[in-house]
Chain A
């Protein structure tokens, strides 16, 4: 089936540790996105990439980093600089033009 796969589903981070969240899509979409969702709130954009080897900061990029070396993959690293990393992280991808973004089922990150 075509879709977006996020892993792991649950992740725990120790103080001072960087962690990487995986996002893979087989929809042949050029654009990919990372969002953060806090309880009872909407989605806030962390980073997005319109094409391979290019990405832009979203509204809350501080403490996060990304790479886009392959079209199908857009991993997100939550660095130790992100002081409040506990959240639900969602990855999405989109085809060209006015098309809806398609979402994975998220990774829930918690602090140990």
Chain B
């Protein structure tokens, strides 16, 4: 079946560094991808999305890169702040539903 996997369960960075969270997906037919941020005890919060006709999309301090050749997705956070500490999930659009990865916990130290 379809799967989405994240490369690292935990990523530790210093405040002010840039963070890169990676994700791989299996379904080459996926045409829509989303990154979510989940803080403890809360639901996932939408960060940024990208469609398969793009390879890069930028938001405020965040950039998503899509490499369809190797089925790889990454989220870059510029100037990481303590408030960015959370679990980050990528998701790919399957048939009528999203397929979620297992998440990467981002730890930001001062």
Contacts and interface: CB of A to CB of B under 8 A. Distances in A.
Contacts, number: 50
Contact of B100 (A40, A43, A100, A104): A43
Chain B contact patch, size range: 20 to 34
B102 A100 contact: no
Chain A contact patch, size range: 20 to 34
Contacts of A105: 41-43
A58 interface: yes
A4 B44 CA distance: 12
Contacts of A84: none
Interface in A50-89: 50, 56, 58
Contact of A106 (B41, B46, B93): B41
Interface in A94-112: 98, 100-106, 108
B87 to A, nearest CB: 9
B49 interface: yes
B96 A106 contact: no
B51 interface: yes
A104 B43 contact: yes
Interface of B: 4, 9, 31-32, 34, 36, 41-46, 49, 51, 89, 93, 96-98, 100-103
27 contacts: A4-B43, A40-B9, A40-B103, A41-B102, A42-B100, A42-B102, A42-B103, A43-B89, A45-B97, A48-B96, A56-B96, A58-B97, A90-B44, A98-B31, A98-B49, A98-B93, A100-B49, A101-B34, A101-B98, A102-B46, A103-B36, A103-B43, A103-B44, A104-B43, A105-B41, A105-B43, A106-B41
